[in-house]
Structure 1
Amino acid sequence: MPDTIPDTGHDLAALLNRPGPWTTVYTDGHGARPQAEEEARRRAVTDPLRDAGAPEEDVAAVAAALDGGEGLPSPSVRILWVQHGEVALDESFVGSRLGPEHLAHGPVPPILPLLRHRTGVVPYLLVETAREGARLSLREANRGGDGETSEIEGRTDSLNKVQAGGWSHRRYQQHSQEIWEQNQAEVAEAVDRIVREQRPRFVVVAGDVRARQLLLERLATASRDLVLEVEVHTKAEGSDDAALERAVAEAVDSGLDGAIQRTRDRAAENHGAAGARGVGEVIDALQQARVDTLLLDARFVQEGDDGESLAALANEPWVARGELNDLPAESLGYVPAAEALARAAVLSGARVLVVEEELEDGEARDGRPAAEPVAALRWAEGG
């Protein structure tokens, strides 16, 4: 399967280029709580923002945004960036937070919570096929809900008739087979068109086993190369979507794992000359706009204020290490190293991937230290 991970920071550079300050929220989304508890939850967000120095117009905008946001299953996550009383960014994701709640007002908005959740938002096409046709849905993993959905309604004559044996029955079976093949050819044509026009990262094919087989035989190579077949008949009454959800999650995880490994391999090329390792080397590469993809360990991200801080700069080269008087551009203040590196990467057009830890519920982290940042470079030094 091809790299399924999109560029998660393609639209953030313009926001990061705006002069601060920003009021930012990273919190749990709407839950199935009584109204009184939801109101208390909203105050638990807005009161700390006031304490952090957020202007009242920003606090009011946050409160109004939090009053909406229904429609996602629980748990979910909400991220807001607000400035001058206007919500500049409002995104929701299915799943639990990947770090502590963050409620702040300051010159540099934290971007890693957003980048980490966006990594799992992958567009895909779900094809639920049956002998009489199919339902096609454009979806985004970890966003919830369906995008554009269309129904392909093929011919149904003879599909459900009961015939006697003998020559008439064989003729009926042949006629039914022709109808099934015609219907799946029509479905394949629609799938191929959506793949060309919408460019989903993968295509999930579920439904009746014979219909799936006929469909796969008729897909164009470009579409078939994206297919993830799921052994479940989702159009059947009472069907369980759990297998489908697991398959989508595994496809997203596999795509991320592949992108991470390819970045590591690229960074190791030419005896390591194609990569940068450690905070110092990565800063140097970022300052020269040579970073193509930046890998950050989740442990390094979660060190936060307990780890090293770097200067976030208002202009190029965006990040620096050193005393205020020695910085190459105006400083917006010192922020956690992972945030500073990620911000500089986004502003210089690089992609950021976080290597997440796979922990079961309640499982504690071991004592292994955070891995150093690694970057795959656009060109080797002197190249």
Structure 2
Amino acid sequence: MSEHEDLERLLAERGPWTAAYIDGPSDLPEPDELARRRRVGESVEGAGAPDADVTAIAEAIAAQTGMASPSTRYLLVRDGRVELDQSFAGPRHGPETFRHGPVPPLIPLLLHRSREAMSAGAGSADSADAGVDAEVSDALDHAAEESHRREGNGVREVVPLLQRAQVETLVLPDEAAASERMLDALGAPPWVAEGDDDEYAADSIGWVSAADALARAAILTGARILVTAEHLEEGEPRPDRPQREVVAVLRWPTDPYPQE
């Protein structure tokens, strides 16, 4: 069973989707909380969401989640119906995000899910982060121990590997969500393509963020996804260095025989 079975079902279907990655219910005085909800509604509307989706999100955030503040909430809506409403303990791992389009922003959700899975036995957020980092290291070390190639690096290498459903684990840096790189999301296998020259029977559902296109293709091919994160304070800029690359650990090697 896929660890993202709910997303696998939803992402195989057509959108467009309206997504909101926001703070959960606050402990602010009621007037301030109501103002926060109005601001969220205005942001959803500003993202181009239809009225039915704006209304669905407004009704959802008016309901309590039962989680103490601070908490985080991810809402995914289609045709005025809330398809996914998931809350997480603790603050957001990045800015609030509002989007309406063919593929929702997946990195914030996947980041929280991976840390929630780790925190079940870790006892703290720092321990959960360390657990994710350790799993990434273990996956890459295992790939490096093989006598033939079991790893792909960078978007150009990873796209064809996902097209062949060859990826066992996809390691995505959270900063990839801010990249301007775009990929073509497809409505059927192989789910993702790199350029207009690619010819597949599947039709395009739109050009989207490379990070979300890769994450979607990984989910739809049953790959495990680990999102690595830098721990920055609210508003703190990222270090001035080259962006970390996406890495794929493979189910089977790219070359059939061991290298000499």
Q: Which has the larger radius of gyration?
A: 1
Distance 1:270 1:74 in 2: 46
Structure 2 residue corresponding to 1:290, chosen from 166, 169, 179: 166
Q: Is the 8 A contact 2:148 2:253 kept in 1?
A: no
How many angstroms does 1:317 deviate by?
A: 0.7
Structure 1 residue corresponding to 2:151, chosen from 275, 285, 307: 275
Distance 2:55 2:236 in 1: 38
Tell me: CA distance 1:34–1:58, structure 2 relative to 1, closer, same or farther (3 Å): same
Q: Which whole-Å deviations, capped at 9, do the CAs of 1:21-55 have from their partners, x for residues lacking one?
A: 11111111111112222222112122232333322
Distance 1:12 1:38 in 2: 30
Q: Which whole-Å deviations, capped at 9, do the CAs of 1:313-332 have from their partners, x for residues lacking one?
A: 11111111112x64423111
Structure 2 residue corresponding to 1:19, chosen from 14, 17, 21: 14
Amino acid at match of 2:43: P
Structure 2 gaps, min length 5: none
Q: Is the 8 A contact 2:48 2:100 kept in 1?
A: yes
Match for residue 208 of structure 2?
A: 335
For normalisation by structure 1, the TM-score amounts to 0.62
Distance 1:108 1:298 in 2: 17
Q: Is the 8 A contact 2:18 2:100 kept in 1?
A: yes
Match for residue 222 of structure 2?
A: 349
Distance 1:362 1:370 in 2: 18
Q: Is the 8 A contact 1:309 1:334 kept in 2?
A: yes
Map 1:252-331 → 2, pairs under 5 A: 252-270=128-146, 273-303=149-179, 307-323=180-196, 326-328=198-200, 329-331=202-204
Structure 2 residue corresponding to 1:81, chosen from 76, 83, 95: 76
Amino acid at match of 2:89: V
Match for residue 34 of structure 2?
A: 39
Q: Is the 8 A contact 1:8 1:119 kept in 2?
A: no
Amino acid at match of 1:299: E
Distance 1:43 1:51 in 2: 12
Amino acid at match of 1:319: V
How many angstroms does 1:361 deviate by?
A: 6.3
Tell me: CA distance 1:7–1:95, structure 2 relative to 1, closer, same or farther (3 Å): farther
How many angstroms does 1:382 deviate by?
A: 4.7
Q: Is the 8 A contact 2:185 2:204 kept in 1?
A: yes
Tell me: CA distance 1:292–1:261, structure 2 relative to 1, closer, same or farther (3 Å): same
* Greater RCO, CA 8 A, separation 6+: 2
Match for residue 112 of structure 1?
A: 107
Structure 2 residue corresponding to 1:49, chosen from 41, 44, 48: 44
Distance 2:126 2:95 in 1: 25
Distance 1:20 1:364 in 2: 33
Map 1:189-268 → 2, pairs under 5 A: 202=121, 247-268=123-144
Q: CA RMSD in A?
A: 2.3
Amino acid at match of 2:159: I
For normalisation by structure 2, the TM-score amounts to 0.89
Identity %: 45
Q: Which whole-Å deviations, capped at 9, do the CAs of 1:112-169 have from their partners, x for residues lacking one?
A: 111011111138xxxxxxxxxxxxxxxxx4xxxxxxxxxxxxxxxxxxxxxxxxxxxx
Secondary structure at the counterpart of residue 74 of structure 1 = coil
Secondary structure at the counterpart of residue 139 of structure 2 = helix
Q: Is the 8 A contact 2:20 2:98 kept in 1?
A: yes
Secondary structure at the counterpart of residue 249 of structure 2 = strand
Tell me: CA distance 1:379–1:334, structure 2 relative to 1, closer, same or farther (3 Å): same
Map 1:66-145 → 2, pairs under 5 A: 66-122=61-117, 141=119
Secondary structure at the counterpart of residue 12 of structure 1 = helix
Q: Is the 8 A contact 1:79 1:91 kept in 2?
A: yes
Structure 1 gaps, min length 5: 1-5, 124-140, 142-200, 203-227, 229-246
Amino acid at match of 1:293: T
